[in-house]
Structure 1
Amino acid sequence: MATDIKQKLVKGLTSNPRHIPMWYNYDYVGSQLEFKLLMGNPDFYSTRSQISVLQQNVQEIIPQVPDNLILAELGSGNCFKTRYVINELLKRQQTLLFYPEDISEEFLSRAVTELSTEYGESLITRPIFAYHEQGLEELKKIEGTKLILWFNGLFNLSYDDQVKTLRELSTMMTDKCRLVFNADITLDKDVILKAYNDQSGLNRTLMQNGLLRLNKEQGSHIDLTNFTFEVDFISDTNPHYMSFVRTYITAKEDIRYPIPGLGIDLVMEKGERLYLHEGEGYSCKYTLEQLQNIVKKAGLRLEDTWTDSQQHAIFCRCTSVSTESSLSIL
């Protein structure tokens, strides 16, 4: 895994344009920074909107099935929002088997310890410490009637990877399984820029954590004061695409920073950008039609949706197309 991570870092830092993978932000420090951003920034609307949807609709969001559900979650983090689902499921069944997956082993381990203390023997937790591709492979091995959660993960991938991941998740689903994911349907540019380029600098600190991690783990000495931090919002109403945020740092002067652990130098000219995510952008924003098209391309059907009163967050529940086919035969 370590070798694979290094290869991805080298590829990003030597590509054109240069980038550092966004998932590299999420060591234990980065995961803490994200939670602080989500909960402590009054302009960051996303988490408050998601919690509002869950508080008011979790009973409807969780499907009614005759069997006990197994809960699986991709990119579970500290399982803060997941507790709303766990609490509701434990009203319906005596015990719950839960497979949380996340890239940060230390952060997830602490979350699992807290869950064990909070729920005792009623919650059986089997954590999966992995990043994207490996996590999907592990989740595929889980048998039984599953409720698969994917909170805050879809919209940080490229369009093709969003479709690909949803398609892979669909292969884990029987006719009784359901996938629930959330998305951001905010399209107001001023609101978005205020959230992602906040005055407190919380998002800047999070998004630059990958570079500080390079310094710590790969022996580089990248000086962030030699760069400016910038945020753009790119709006696209094409029904077969999406809008997104771009975040990057721009070199104030010509720079060269050796990265011994990767065996390369980071070389940039004055005015050159280093993107703090893969692909065109991250934290994508959608119209309902765009979401329906992504789901359809992935071999899923959008069964139902729930939004908050301010129309910021949307939760989507999906079935597999094969599920619909089998039901139409009966």
Structure 2
Amino acid sequence: MENYQEILKGLQSNHKYLPTWYNYDEVGSELNHICTTENSNYYITRGELSVLRDKIENIIPRVPYQLTLVDLGCGNCHKTRFVIDELLRRQGTLSFYPEDISEDFLLRSSKQLAEEYGDDLVITPIPEDYVEGIEQLKKVKGPKFILWLGSIICMSYADQVNMLRLISAMMTDKCNLVFSADITQDRNTILKAYDDEAGLMRNFIQNGITRLNKETGSEIDKTKFKWEVDFVLNKDPYSVSYVRKYMEAKESVQYKMPQLNMDFTMKMGERLYFHEGEGFSCKYTLEQLRNIVEKAGLRLTDTWTDKDKHVVFCRCTTV
């Protein structure tokens, strides 16, 4: 089983969890796309698309040289197309490096883009996690426009800072990083997005258990758990607000996991979280975001928000 040590660590800890990345196999990536595009209450994707559609000419800096496009955690690249189209309009051709942990999903998306754009778009897919992917991207020469859309919010505070530091290691003074973040603070709006009536988000999260059963030989019964979503507000300028998603055992349960050589047990009322740390899908004030960027040794130069002020795009350069 891939990365079994990290899975073991989460399942055996006092604060039981499955890491966020574990949901993103090919099935999970597709379910995530569905729950973020077909849930009418999920404002993040709608807000991101609005900013890209209305402000892409300003988000991409005008420079007297060609840019190479990097997309970290690219998914199916449906948001990246706005950037590709604008860069092709300016440059005529474009070298594109999409990176994603789900290899099958990434290669399928790359194939679709290659068929659509032809020789004008030279695609080099990187099917790796962030750390390995960035190591490969460090070898890419020249000015880079780096996208990291919708992903910083799914990390712990420390990991957000560390990831931005990691990205900065492949940047020169001619590179720009643009990432998007959620600046929504209203509890009801957030809970409607993450606990939708159609259960689209729950289907995505439950994929983590489906995958766990498949890969460990277990038979975890989803009906023996309550599925919960919560929001924790935090105004501290050096912290963030966040969502928590977890399943809570309705009774004491025990399941064998032959592939991990362990028995997985939960007491009644015990929780299994679907993220590392205190929470995931972080929500920010602009002050909180600026502090994170500065801690990582980068400079926040510009921001753009959608009209409803749910989402912000941040452009960063090296100091």
TM range (shorter): over 0.9
Deviation at 1:140?
2.1
Q: Which residue of 1 aligns with 2:198?
A: 200
Instruction: State the secondary structure of the residue aligned to 1:162.
Output: helix
Q: Does the CA contact (< 8 Å) of 2:243 and 2:279 recur in 1? A: yes
Q: Deviations over 1:264-322 (max 9, x none)?
A: 2211100000001111100000000000000000011111000000000100000111x
CA distance in structure 1 between the aligned counterparts of 2:287 and 2:81, rounded to whole angstroms: 30
Instruction: Say whether residues 1:223 and 2:221 are aligned partners.
Output: yes
Q: Does the CA contact (< 8 Å) of 1:49 and 1:312 recur in 2? A: yes
Deviation at 1:222?
0.7
Q: How is 1:259-274 mapped onto 2 (pairs within 5 angstroms)?
A: 259-274=257-272
Instruction: State the secondary structure of the residue aligned to 1:238.
Output: coil
CA distance in structure 2 between the aligned counterparts of 1:89 and 1:311, rounded to whole angstroms: 26
Identity, % of aligned pairs?
55
Deviation at 1:261?
1.3
Runs of 4+ aligned structure 1 residues displaced above 4 Å come to none
Instruction: Say whether residues 1:303 and 2:309 are aligned partners.
Output: no
After superposing the two structures, state which structure 1 stretch, 207-216 or 186-195, moved more: 207-216
Deviation at 1:132?
2.7
Instruction: Say whether residues 1:19 and 2:17 are aligned partners.
Output: yes
Q: Deviations over 1:54-110 (max 9, x none)?
A: 000000000111111000111000000000000000011121011100011111111
Q: Which residue of 2 aligns with 1:248?
A: 246
Q: Which residue of 2 aligns with 1:175?
A: 173
Q: Which residue of 2 aligns with 1:278?
A: 276
Q: Does the CA contact (< 8 Å) of 1:22 and 1:207 recur in 2? A: no
Q: Which amino acid aligns with 1:297?
A: K
CA distance in structure 2 between the aligned counterparts of 1:241 and 1:260, rounded to whole angstroms: 40
CA distance in structure 2 between the aligned counterparts of 1:148 and 1:133, rounded to whole angstroms: 15
After superposing the two structures, state which structure 1 stretch, 228-237 or 135-144, moved more: 135-144
CA distance in structure 2 between the aligned counterparts of 1:295 and 1:248, rounded to whole angstroms: 29
Q: Which residue of 2 aligns with 1:34?
A: 32
Q: Which residue of 1 aligns with 2:82?
A: 84
Q: Deviations over 1:152-210 (max 9, x none)?
A: 11010000000000011111111110000000000000000011011111111111211
Q: Which residue of 2 aligns with 1:326?
A: none
Q: How is 1:35-54 mapped onto 2 (pairs within 5 angstroms)?
A: 35-54=33-52
Aligned-residue RMSD, C-alpha: 0.9
Unaligned 5+ residue runs, structure 1?
322-330
Q: TM-score, normalised by structure 1?
A: 0.95
Q: How is 1:49-68 mapped onto 2 (pairs within 5 angstroms)?
A: 49-68=47-66
CA distance in structure 1 between the aligned counterparts of 2:140 and 2:236, rounded to whole angstroms: 36
Q: TM-score, normalised by structure 2?
A: 0.98
Q: Which residue of 2 aligns with 1:94?
A: 92
Q: Does the CA contact (< 8 Å) of 2:225 and 2:250 recur in 1? A: yes
